Structure 1
């Protein structure tokens, strides 16, 4: 980012859209496994969110879409942020009982559990630690991947906890993690063009955010270095919506243009394809 380009002061991820091979199967999975609830649906689309909340996930059907090649650029995982540790404990117990967990980690700033959806798309479910507890080293946020405290997490469950309880209304898309072909390209898009700040690095990965969050976006080359985005006949993250602060749409467009990023402006919305192939739909808050 040029020295005269101020970073975005805030950002929120609103709605992730996944193209899936079987709409009914995937909608049922996100209800049963993740705890989301159907909030709106048509013949070819289902939107889900926490019970009583707003839509955070849109599923559209790309009939018979094939799985994304493991080494292709694309979605690594979509991460659903829960409001507290008790909700994470419920999700952990539900997924462990169903044999769906693929991992569980303590990242110092958060606790997270992992699984894959029926098309092999990665999912993270997590809760943040209070920001006052986030560790820093040499002025930079410190993150790691350590074993989660399973005993302490399960202790959060009430004796009569219902493991099929819905995700809370306050559940959001906390961050998106991409597989990319080149970290410099990812940094050029997200930092130089969009205006995020680099919060920390990990071998082969970048973590970027606005407003001091640990990360709204991550990018890695662990399996995808030098690879191009997966073909569009694969199950994939098709698009995602980003709310940027009021009054920043014009400066974001200027920054994108200066960085040489192709984008389309539709009324009060900017659309740009990020390096792993999904469309970022950026807009200011509704008035």
Structure 2
């Protein structure tokens, strides 16, 4: 069974304002603009959808939902080209991290949603422990090296093979989260620390990150609060996952033969979709 993140859907008070940011800074192309939604992506694939909530409001306290959306670029050179573009735009960067298996840049969109833009190192360079798990590490990034790697590339927007490499979630309970993503959905835990769990399908470092850094027992977002509306998990075995949900008595709604909608234990909406659909 193969699973990966498909798209991230955000609620916003102004879809055009936010779309301009993701077009100009992240380099996504507007693929559809209708009613209260704008879809953005690359090469015909939707990676991000913005859903306008005209009466929307910012949550006044920490709640479950998005920690960051992580856009995966195909190479270190593309990351360097993006960093040149980001610096030229004077857009504020929150930080950067060398995670051994990847190099990453962190910042926020105008609504305050977290963003990571990163590139993976070659898999043979990933450091694993005796159980095959990846250690948690955030080392200083070689910014000059990244810039040099991208010096010969002109920034022309997000490369066509950009993907949502992973999504990182702010959750209420790690053990309930572990049960849902590992036991029910079938992801593997690849990295574990007392305050965070990282899950992957196959031999990737992680497709889903989860943490309780904002505290435990967080409430979920209200319907009119801006932030994460839902994200999609693409799979080639949607019938198998539907059977697993029934086995564990997990409530879900079938939107069609190709889409299952449910909530994880933190009240975060998830859609499981056929791998041929978005």
TM-score > 0.5 by shorter chain = yes
What's the offset of the Cα at 1:43?
A: 3.6
Distance 1:126 1:275 in 2: 28
Q: 5+ unaligned residues in a row in structure 1: which ranges?
A: 1-8
Residue of structure 2 in register with 1:200 after alignment: 191
Distance 1:199 1:87 in 2: 26
> Are 2:106 and 2:117, in contact at CA under 8 Å, matched by a contact in 1?
yes
Q: 1:83 to 1:69 in 2, by over 3 A?
A: farther
TM-score by length of 1: 0.89
> Are 1:83 and 1:127, in contact at CA under 8 Å, matched by a contact in 2?
yes
Q: 1:277 to 1:94 in 2, by over 3 A?
A: farther
Q: Does residue 145 of structure 1 match 2:138?
A: yes
- The root-mean-square deviation of aligned C-alpha atoms, in Å, is 1.8
Distance 1:132 1:241 in 2: 29
Matched residue SS, 2:46: coil
Distance 1:200 1:59 in 2: 31
Query: 1:108 is matched with which residue: 100, 103, 112?
Result: 100
Distance 2:85 2:61 in 1: 27
* 1:202-217 aligned within 5 A: 202-217=193-208
Query: 1:129 is matched with which residue: 112, 121, 124?
Result: 121
TM-score by length of 2: 0.92
Distance 1:73 1:87 in 2: 32
> Are 1:53 and 1:171, in contact at CA under 8 Å, matched by a contact in 2?
no
Distance 1:257 1:69 in 2: 36
> Are 1:110 and 1:127, in contact at CA under 8 Å, matched by a contact in 2?
yes
Query: 1:38 is matched with which residue: 15, 18, 30?
Result: 30
Q: Tell me the matched-pair count.
A: 274
Residue of structure 2 in register with 1:228 after alignment: 219
Query: 1:158 is matched with which residue: 151, 165, 174?
Result: 151
* 1:9-158 aligned within 5 A: 9-50=1-42, 52-69=43-60, 71-97=62-88, 98-139=90-131, 140-158=133-151
Distance 2:6 2:185 in 1: 16
1:197-228, Cα deviation, whole Å (9 max, x unpaired)? 11111340000011121111111001131212
Distance 1:136 1:232 in 2: 41
Q: Does residue 280 of structure 1 match 2:277?
A: no
Residue of structure 1 in register with 2:247 after alignment: 258
> Are 2:66 and 2:113, in contact at CA under 8 Å, matched by a contact in 1?
yes
Q: 1:64 to 1:95 in 2, by over 3 A?
A: farther
What's the offset of the Cα at 1:142?
A: 2.1
